[in-house]
Structure 1
Amino acid sequence: MTNPLLQNNMLPAFSEILPEYVEPALNQVLEQAKLTVNDLMLNIKQPTWETLVLPMEELDASIDRVWSPVSHLNSVMNSDELRVAYNACLPKLSQFGTELGQNEDLYKAYKTLADSSAYTNLDVAQKKVIDNALRDFRLSGVELSQADRDQFKRISQSLTELTAKFEENLMDATHAWKKHVTDEKLLDGLPESTKEMAAQFAKREQLDGWLFTLDFPSYMPVMSYADNRDFREEMYTAFATKASDQGPNAGKWDNTEIMADILKLRHELAQLIGFDNHAERSLVTKMAQSPQQVLDFLNDLATRSKSIAEKEFVELKAFAKEIADMEDLEAWDVTYFSEKLRQQRYSISQEVLKPYFPENKVVMGLFSVVNKLYGLDIKERHDVDVWHKDVRFFDIFDANGELRGQFYLDLYARNHKRGGAWMDECLVRRQTANGIQTPVAFLTCNFSEPVGDKPALFTHD
């Protein structure tokens, strides 16, 4: 069978991507990329946008076309087999990226272009691409001695592997902890929708009663509504101690040493290329001008917020004392009594509002706002290969009916999916030999899934 990662499809064939295809596909595109760079450096006479930058963008795109769907699947449909394939590729990607960033001939070609008259005729965006490339060469250690370059490579590879292990431990620790409940009394205070979802989780694992996990849609309602304080404490402790040397799975997926190693290596890498610390190196590609500017902003924010937060916490403690005769609030009590206080003051709760925010109305309402603000029409397609039955795909059209972008929408939390919410690139918008490539994004969330035949319900916030 042809490797689906090497087919020149407009969109990834997710249902055909198997772990055994990953490493061979990456090996092939990396080898071709090396040959392309060597050929480019041998034959280029006068670097221009067309003879240097566009071929390098095409090279990057060929690697991204293989790695982007693999990296995404590792986050949203993780498995032992995919994880092995993914981790086998990380050192190769790290080595290739560092060697490319330390390629002196390529660096000189970009410098020649930046110093040429052709550069002055480029538009702002093109100049920015070249300036960023030169910056990234320096951040990759191109100006270091050979010994320091080798050290840079070793540190970069170690950081890549440590970061991947950190994420694996966090995912494994999150999905390993489960609370199976058979006594309904323990669920006092929980909304019906939460209990129905927990019953659905239990049924899926062929269990009686209810099943709770550390995924946010399961965790947060317990913190907000569960009357049983011990239940809240148990959930909070498990959530707050994930992947650490504390809590119910202490030491099993412990990230303590990994975090220390990452911090140490980041510091070493930053100093190797002339920065005092990792914060300085990190800000080179960001808007803030210095670590001190960031600290000043945060300290100012804390100064402005602290007195208000302290006042609100005193009020919350008084409220907890009044209704529950509780002297000291623990971390697992704060969200619970905050919700009770909101209900008393405003006669409203997020749970009461949820029926007004079913998934389809929220999503379509969002698209309607986008249309009013920007004149864009967002239309769903059902003929696109996706990685899970709940994933949806949309086209974005401008007022003239021209396709301007596309995106995958993966809304619900599930096993083997990383927590949180994020956007990532599937395909970037760029100039190709055939015209402008349509950009495609991954939009990933971890909302509560539908329960039974009911639609998924969102909270107002």
Structure 2
Amino acid sequence: MTANPLLADWTTPYELPPFGDISPDHFREAFDKGMADGRQEIDAIADNPEAPSFDNTIAEMERSGDLISRTARTFYNLSGAHTNPDLQALEREMAPKLAKHSSETFQNAKLYERIADLWANRDGLGLDQEEARVLERYHSMFQRAGAGLEPDQKARMGEISQRLATLGTRFSQNVLKDEADYQLVLETDADIAGLPDFLLSAAAEAATARGLEGKYVITLSRSSIEPFLQFSTNRARREEAFKAWTARGENPGETDNRALIAETVALRQERAKLLGFDSFAAFKLDDTMAKTPEAVRELLMRVWEPAVARANEEADKLQALAHTEGDNGDLQPWDWRFYSEKLRKAEFDLDDAELKPYLQLDQVIAAAFHTANRLFGLSFEEKQDLPIYHPDVRVFEVKNGQGKHLGLFMGDYFARPSKRSGAWMSAFRSQHRCKGEVSPIIVNVMNFSKGKSGEASLLTFDDARTLFHEFGHALHGLLSNVTYPMISGTSVARDFVELPSQLYEHWLSEPEILSNFAVHYKTGKPMPESLLNKVKAAENFNQGFATVEYTACALIDQDIHTLDDPEGLDVSAFEQERLKALGMPKPIVMRHRLPHFAHAFAGDGYSAGYYSYMWSEVMDADAFAAFKETGDVFDPQTAHKLLTHIYSAGGLPDPAETYRAFRGRDPKINALLESRGLAA
């Protein structure tokens, strides 16, 4: 290899990034060269004297930009999953530069003329379905980036894009710093009162990793703090931890995100107005299944109203339980999970302490793989001695039912200070056939609590569901079967992308999966049928709370992105006022408060789009019913239709059409309400 491995051909197995040879300085050089090479490639396409054709314009763009794409994928996967101060500094430096490079591409007048010419004459070009879809996506992307605007408007669009890139990067890094800096150190018997063995083990491991041997540490990772809030009998420590968790991004000082949010919202609104839309939400939704903010709000409110009613009933029960135990004050947000766990134990004889020993991480991974084998014939073989970016990362070769190499799957499961919170799927390489057969390299990143050395890492049922969810995304990337990168894998409408992931969650609760893979980490015995039955019976327990904390986020996301004049926005006051107007139950807090709402503000991905999970849930509940109706949740014919129309199709078809092709009709919202136990 040359001195900079990012500039050389990768001779590693499966052409994985040579992680051990890459330093932060290598990225700067590779970004600079990648942008320079990309500019030359784009100019060559734009200046081509030949009349525009699909091949010399659209396909040529799809074949360009290898270096910048490879560099960016490697860099941003590391900056999310295993960052350091040098990478963070470079991320801040590169964000506006990369945004400028992108704007210059999408606002290239000659290039847009060629694309517009192809679009105007598309019916006479003899394009196949995939080529027609890729042309449509390019034409839409260029228009939405301002290619058709006047020169001064284009310049302003470029300035806005660069500033938004900077703001999104700062937002993300501020949240990560608040999370990494916080630790709740537990030392006394009173500190650890009520905590089960599995949580003490994980907290001891977290303390050891932070140089606090012999103590216990609760972090702001959801897999650490939620069990603490469930089981700790020390109300003062629960309150302390909860307030730290919900204050991320709102602490005074350099990590305060509120001014960043206000500026972001104003710039997004300005961009939307330049493009002729009434609001940023209207701009974002115009390119989705939902199409309009009104359609989104209608769906959310149909769910919100019964969810609030159910949550208030749940709150009354929890308040009554607290009173019987001598707590005569008002139910507080840091009390909800604690008393909810007690109530579930009382009503269903079920709690996470009883359930968690049967949910070993390795077994849940095996369950996800088994499900993929039963549905799609896939096999997974763990590979050793491959390049990885952290010792915790595991790599599996994925083969199809005929034994052919399909791609690589990487699993990065444990929380650490160098990793942002949450769980996600990403790709180091996407599938396509644009320049020969290119197989995908897909990664799932989680933040589970790690068990002590030599002991199994145990999951809550929510953790296990998260693993299945992200693996559903991974399969969407691994099973992709398209020609062009533009529509590969998860490159679909934002409110369709959650369908493959949320649908996959359903198989976790099926008896075949739980009875075979939910085995006790000490005895190896399967989960007793009586416990299995309790899990199923309690599926909709606390569903009012869960629906409210999510739907509140989706509604506030819409509200803030439909503001007509967001100048001078007081973010905290806005959040409080809108929640009060919605009738938010006082003991419940948004799942993601605005100052740490990374989906909406750490980039543009889910901005005005957090509703997507529920929009997709309408489909996933209805889609799983298609399997149930056959009497076999692994029905081969239904699974084949699922593979053909959804998991392998990428962004080729229109999402509404592809759902109809799978199901034979449009989805029905009743399936969602029934699955959440909210149907009248």
**TM-score normalised to the size of structure 2?**
0.65
CA drift of 1:420 comes to: 0.4
Q: Which amino acid aligns with 1:444?
A: V
Structure 2: unaligned runs, 5 residues or longer? 463-680
Q: Secondary structure, in 3 states, of the residue corresponding to 2:320? A: helix
User: In the alignment, which residue of structure 2 is the partner of 1:178?
Assistant: 183
User: In the alignment, which residue of structure 2 is the partner of 1:427?
Assistant: 429
Q: Deviations over 1:199-223 (max 9, x none)?
A: 2222233324222221222211210
User: In the alignment, which residue of structure 2 is the partner of 1:449?
Assistant: 450
User: In the alignment, which residue of structure 2 is the partner of 1:209?
Assistant: 215
> Is 1:126 the equivalent of 2:131?
yes
Q: Give the Cα separation in 2 of the matches to 1:19 and 1:405.
A: 27
Query: Which of the numbers 165, 172, 188 marks the counterpart of 1:160?
Result: 165
Q: Deviations over 1:222-275 (max 9, x none)?
A: 100000000000000111111214xxxx33410010111111110011111111
Q: How does 1:404-423 map to 2 (within 5 A)?
A: 404-423=406-425
Q: Give the Cα separation in 1 of the matches to 2:124 and 2:350.
A: 60
Q: Do the aligned partners of residues 439 and 284 (structure 1) sit closer, same or farther apart at CA in structure 2, a change above 3 Å counting? A: farther
Q: Which amino acid aligns with 2:315?
A: F
Which of 188-197 and 334-343 deviates more? 188-197
User: In the alignment, which residue of structure 2 is the partner of 1:2?
Assistant: 3
Q: Give the Cα separation in 2 of the matches to 1:252 and 1:302.
A: 35
Q: Which amino acid aligns with 1:110?
A: I
Q: Give the Cα separation in 2 of the matches to 1:209 and 1:41.
A: 63
Q: Which amino acid aligns with 1:33?
A: G
Q: Do the aligned partners of residues 54 and 454 (structure 1) sit closer, same or farther apart at CA in structure 2, a change above 3 Å counting? A: same
Q: How does 1:26-175 map to 2 (within 5 A)?
A: 26-116=31-121, 120-175=125-180
Q: How does 1:272-283 map to 2 (within 5 A)?
A: 272-283=274-285
Q: Give the Cα separation in 2 of the matches to 1:381 and 1:237.
A: 42
User: In the alignment, which residue of structure 1 is the partner of 2:644?
Assistant: none
Q: Which has the higher contact order (CA 8 A, sep 6+)?
A: 2
Q: Give the Cα separation in 2 of the matches to 1:387 and 1:232.
A: 35
Q: Which amino acid aligns with 2:64?
A: L
Q: Deviations over 1:365-413 (max 9, x none)?
A: 1111111111111222223211111111122211111122322111111
Cα contact 2:201–2:451 (8 A) shared by 1: no
Which of 161-170 and 283-292 deviates more? 283-292
Query: Which of the numbers 377, 386, 389 marks the counterpart of 1:387?
Result: 389
Cα contact 1:243–1:251 (8 A) shared by 2: no
Q: Which amino acid aligns with 1:453?
A: G
Q: Do the aligned partners of residues 354 and 119 (structure 1) sit closer, same or farther apart at CA in structure 2, a change above 3 Å counting? A: farther
Cα contact 1:378–1:396 (8 A) shared by 2: yes
Q: Do the aligned partners of residues 327 and 8 (structure 1) sit closer, same or farther apart at CA in structure 2, a change above 3 Å counting? A: same
Q: Give the Cα separation in 1 of the matches to 2:30 and 2:355.
A: 48
Which of 405-414 and 18-27 deviates more? 405-414
Query: Which of the numbers 196, 199, 203 marks the counterpart of 1:194?
Result: 199
**TM-score normalised to the size of structure 1?**
0.95
> Is 1:377 the equivalent of 2:379?
yes
Q: Give the Cα separation in 2 of the matches to 1:429 and 1:119.
A: 29
CA drift of 1:44 comes to: 4.6
Q: Which amino acid aligns with 1:443?
A: N
Q: Give the Cα separation in 2 of the matches to 1:241 and 1:424.
A: 28
User: In the alignment, which residue of structure 1 is the partner of 2:368?
Assistant: 366
Cα contact 2:47–2:110 (8 A) shared by 1: no
Query: Which of the numbers 224, 231, 234 marks the counterpart of 1:228?
Result: 234
Cα contact 1:199–1:209 (8 A) shared by 2: yes
CA drift of 1:119 comes to: 5.8
Q: Give the Cα separation in 1 of the matches to 2:124 and 2:260.
A: 44
Which of 409-418 and 299-308 deviates more? 299-308
Q: Give the Cα separation in 1 of the matches to 2:280 and 2:48.
A: 38
Q: Secondary structure, in 3 states, of the residue corresponding to 2:138? A: helix
Q: Which amino acid aligns with 1:421?
A: A
Q: Do the aligned partners of residues 299 and 117 (structure 1) sit closer, same or farther apart at CA in structure 2, a change above 3 Å counting? A: closer
CA drift of 1:307 comes to: 1.6
Q: Secondary structure, in 3 states, of the residue corresponding to 1:211? A: strand
Q: Give the Cα separation in 1 of the matches to 2:67 and 2:311.
A: 50
User: In the alignment, which residue of structure 2 is the partner of 1:460?
Assistant: 461
Q: Give the Cα separation in 2 of the matches to 1:119 and 1:413.
A: 54
Q: Give the Cα separation in 2 of the matches to 1:342 and 1:12.
A: 47
Cα contact 2:34–2:65 (8 A) shared by 1: no
Query: Which of the numbers 323, 326, 334 marks the counterpart of 2:328?
Result: 326
Q: Give the Cα separation in 2 of the matches to 1:52 and 1:118.
A: 17
Q: Give the Cα separation in 2 of the matches to 1:144 and 1:113.
A: 19
CA drift of 1:120 comes to: 4.3
Q: Secondary structure, in 3 states, of the residue corresponding to 1:187? A: coil
Cα contact 2:144–2:275 (8 A) shared by 1: yes
Cα contact 1:382–1:393 (8 A) shared by 2: yes
Q: Give the Cα separation in 1 of the matches to 2:203 and 2:32.
A: 44
Q: Give the Cα separation in 2 of the matches to 1:330 and 1:117.
A: 60
Q: Secondary structure, in 3 states, of the residue corresponding to 1:186? A: coil
Cα contact 2:229–2:335 (8 A) shared by 1: yes
CA drift of 1:118 comes to: 7.8
Q: Give the Cα separation in 2 of the matches to 1:325 and 1:92.
A: 56
Cα contact 1:65–1:427 (8 A) shared by 2: yes
Cα contact 1:139–1:273 (8 A) shared by 2: yes
Query: Which of the numbers 18, 24, 29 marks the counterpart of 1:24?
Result: 29
Cα contact 2:393–2:410 (8 A) shared by 1: yes
Which of 286-295 and 345-354 deviates more? 345-354
Cα contact 2:203–2:224 (8 A) shared by 1: yes
Cα contact 1:423–1:441 (8 A) shared by 2: yes
Q: Give the Cα separation in 2 of the matches to 1:202 and 1:310.
A: 38
Which of 37-46 and 335-344 deviates more? 37-46
Q: Which amino acid aligns with 2:215?
A: G
Q: Give the Cα separation in 1 of the matches to 2:239 and 2:149.
A: 52
Q: Secondary structure, in 3 states, of the residue corresponding to 2:191? A: helix
Q: Secondary structure, in 3 states, of the residue corresponding to 1:206? A: coil
RMSD between aligned residues: 1.6
Q: Do the aligned partners of residues 121 and 13 (structure 1) sit closer, same or farther apart at CA in structure 2, a change above 3 Å counting? A: same
Q: How does 1:219-368 map to 2 (within 5 A)?
A: 219-245=225-251, 250-368=252-370
Q: Which amino acid aligns with 2:180?
A: H
CA drift of 1:299 comes to: 0.9
Q: Give the Cα separation in 1 of the matches to 2:314 and 2:82.
A: 41
User: In the alignment, which residue of structure 1 is the partner of 2:518?
Assistant: none
Q: Secondary structure, in 3 states, of the residue corresponding to 1:379? A: strand
Q: Which amino acid aligns with 2:348?
A: Y
Higher strand share: 1
Structure 1: unaligned runs, 5 residues or longer? none
Which of 390-399 and 54-63 deviates more? 54-63
Cα contact 2:373–2:379 (8 A) shared by 1: yes
